[in-house]
Structure 1
Amino acid sequence: MFRSRPGRKRTVTTALLAAASLMLTLSACGVQPLTPQDARADAGSDDKGGDGARRVDCAKVKCIALTFDAGPGEDTPHLLDVLKEKQVPATFFLLGSKHVDRYPDVVRRIAAEGHEVANHTWSHRILTDLDESEVREELSRTQDAIEKITGRRPTLMRPPQGRTDGTVSDVSRDLGLAQVLWSITAKDYSTTDSALIRQRVLENAHRDGIILLHDIYDGTVPAVPSIIDELKRRGFTFVTVPELLAPGRAEPGEVYRPDKD
C-alpha cells in the first residue's frame, strides 16, 4: 500500500497534496505554533532535552532534523542502513494500519538504532474532519501498537497534512503527545525523481529546520544519501526532533513548527 509502483492506492497521495495549505490551516483554527527556539528559550539553563542528555547544543550548532512520515515500508530497512552508515539520527512518524502492524521488526529496529519513534495516526484520516472520539482512536491505537513493539509510548505525533485544531490539541495533550510539523518539504509524494527531491530539500534547508520526507515512495530513499552528504558539507548537524528542542521538551498538546527565516 502507498507505493508509487503501478497499481498502488492513491488515497494517501491525494490527501498529502494538500500539505501546502499548512499555514492557512493553522491560522484558521487559531493554533499558534512554537519554534525550536521558543522551546529552548522556555527551558532556561536545564541541560536535559527529550528523554536523555543533549548530544549537541542547537543554540550554538547549526542543527536540522530529518523526519520520515507514513512508514515503515519496504524501503525502510535500506534507509536505516544508510542512516547507520552515515551516523545520522532521524525521527519516524509511523502509520499504524498496514505499516506498524505489518513491519514490527522494522519498528523495533528503528527504536533500537536510536531513532525517535513517533505517531502519524492509525489510518491517515484527516483529524480535523473527525470528532473527539475518532481522533482519540486514530492516535491511541498507534500509541498502543508502538508500545507493544518497542516498550515505549511515543511523545510526538504529526497530524496528516499538518491539519490540527483545538480538539486535536486537547486529545494530543490527554495522550501525552506534542504535535510536530515541518518547514522543509520535497513533496516527494508527487514525484519519483530523486534528483528533484534532493534539489527541493537543499534549496529550502535552514538552521533549526525540520525536513519532511516519506520512506514509502520510490524516489525518496535513493535521494537521502546525497541530501545528507551535502547538508553535512554545509555545516549542518543532524538531530532528532527532541534534540532540536533541547534543553526544552516537547509539551503535550503544543504544536511545533520552525520558522523558515
Structure 2
Amino acid sequence: MVSWLRANGKILFRGAALLLAGAAAGFGLGLFFAVPAGPGCQESDLTPVPDTGFASPAPEAAPASSLPQEEPMPEKWVCLTFDDGPSKTTPAVLDALNAAGVKATFFVVATGYNEKYLPLIADAAAAGHQIALHSASHEYSDIYQSSAAYWQDITLLKERISPYVNTTALHYLRFPGGSTNTVSRRYGGRGVMEELKQQCAENGYAYVDWNVCAEDAVGGKPSAGTIYRNVVRETGEQTQCIVLMHDSA
C-alpha cells in the first residue's frame, strides 16, 4: 500500500517513506554531490533500470498497522535514495538535505568497515529520513550464493544496526546491484533473483530499485555539476523517478 502526502509544497511517498521533491526534472540536487562512492550503477554486470518497474508491491506479510493506506498517486514525483552508507560522507549529506528541507531514503550497509559510522543511522532517522535495508557485506559472491545466504546477510545487517533503529519497522530493501542484476547468476544461478524477489513478500518486505542513476560511483571524483547533469539527463521525459545516489566514502 502506498500513501501520498503533500506538505509545504513537497510530496511524501510514505509507502517507502521516500520524499518526492517536486517535478521530475530541474530539482535542486547539486547540493548533495561532491564525494566519490563505492561500486556504481554503470558497471557492466549491473542493470541500471529494472525490467518491470522500480518498486515491488508493499509486502502483504508486513503488519497492517505498519503500512500506510493507499491514496492517489501524484502525476509527477522524484524520490532521492542513498546507498552504501553510513560513512564519513553521511553528515554532509544530512546537512544538505536539512538545508533544502528534503527527506530521503538511506539503504544502509554494515560491512565492518563502516562500524564507527553506524550511529549516524539514528541521526538520519531522527531527522525524519527513511532507513531501509541494503546489505551487511555487499559482497556479491557471498550474498548471492543462494537465497539462504542472502537472507542470512539481511539478518546480520539488522543485528548490526539494531542499536540505532527499530529494525522491526523496516519493510523495504534494495538488492545490491538491483533486482535485475546479472552478477548474481555467477554465484547462485539464473534463478536466484527470481527466488529472492518472491521471498521478499513472503518475508514481509518490498524491494525498491531505481530508474535514474546519478553515476556518482563510477570512479573518479565527479563534481556536483556533473552529477546533477547526469540526473537530469537520465530523468529525460520521465515524470516518476527514483534516483540512485551514494553516501559512501
The answer, yes or no, to whether TM exceeds 0.5 is yes
> What is the identity, as a one-letter code, of the residue corresponding to 1:70?
D
Contact 2:54–2:210 at 8 Å: present in 1 too? no
2:98 matched residue in structure 1: 84
1:134 matched residue in structure 2: 149
Tell me, what secondary structure is at the counterpart of 2:81? strand
Displacement after TM superposition at 1:110 (Å): 0.8
Counting only pairs closer than 5 Å after superposition, residues 53-92 of structure 1 correspond to structure 2 as 59-60=73-74, 62-92=76-106
Tell me, what secondary structure is at the counterpart of 2:221? coil
Contact 2:54–2:209 at 8 Å: present in 1 too? no
2:214 matched residue in structure 1: 186
Distance 1:170 1:102, change over 3 A: farther
Give me the identity figure in percent: 22
Distance in 2 separating the partners of 1:119 and 1:86:
25
Residue in structure 1 matching 2:117, options 103, 125, 137: 103
TM-score, normalisation: structure 1: 0.62
Cα deviations by residue, 1:102-154 (Å, 9 ceiling, x for unpaired)? 32320001111111101111111337731122111111111233333212332
Please say which of residues 144-153 and 179-188 is displaced more in the overlay.
144-153
Distance in 2 separating the partners of 1:193 and 1:102:
26
Contact 1:73–1:99 at 8 Å: present in 2 too? no
1:157 aligns with 2:189: no
1:208 matched residue in structure 2: 240
Displacement after TM superposition at 1:72 (Å): 0.6
Distance in 1 separating the partners of 2:156 and 2:129:
21
Contact 2:214–2:230 at 8 Å: present in 1 too? yes
Distance in 1 separating the partners of 2:65 and 2:82:
21
Tell me, what secondary structure is at the counterpart of 2:128? coil
Runs of 4+ residues deviating >3 angstroms: 33-36, 48-54
Aligned residues: 193
Counting only pairs closer than 5 Å after superposition, residues 1-261 of structure 1 correspond to structure 2 as 4=36, 13=39, 17-18=43-44, 20-22=46-48, 33-34=52-53, 51=67, 59-60=73-74, 62-98=76-112, 101-126=115-140, 129-153=144-168, 154-162=170-178, 163=181, 165-190=193-218, 191-194=220-223, 195-205=225-235, 206-217=238-249
Distance 1:183 1:15, change over 3 A: closer
Contact 1:67–1:91 at 8 Å: present in 2 too? yes
> What is the identity, as a one-letter code, of the residue corresponding to 1:193?
P
Displacement after TM superposition at 1:207 (Å): 1.9
Displacement after TM superposition at 1:18 (Å): 3.4
Please say which of residues 84-93 and 137-146 is displaced more in the overlay.
137-146
Q: Where does structure 2 lack aligned partners over 5 or more consecutive residues?
A: 1-34, 59-63, 182-191
Distance 1:169 1:99, change over 3 A: farther
Distance in 2 separating the partners of 1:174 and 1:101:
30
Distance in 1 separating the partners of 2:210 and 2:136:
20
Distance 1:192 1:172, change over 3 A: same
Q: Where does structure 1 lack aligned partners over 5 or more consecutive residues?
A: 6-11, 28-32, 41-47, 218-261
Distance in 2 separating the partners of 1:192 and 1:181:
24
Distance 1:14 1:152, change over 3 A: closer
TM-score, normalisation: structure 2: 0.65
> What is the identity, as a one-letter code, of the residue corresponding to 1:197?
I
Displacement after TM superposition at 1:15 (Å): 8.6
Distance in 2 separating the partners of 1:62 and 1:169:
27
Distance in 2 separating the partners of 1:199 and 1:14:
16
Tell me, what secondary structure is at the counterpart of 1:212? strand
Tell me, what secondary structure is at the counterpart of 1:98? coil
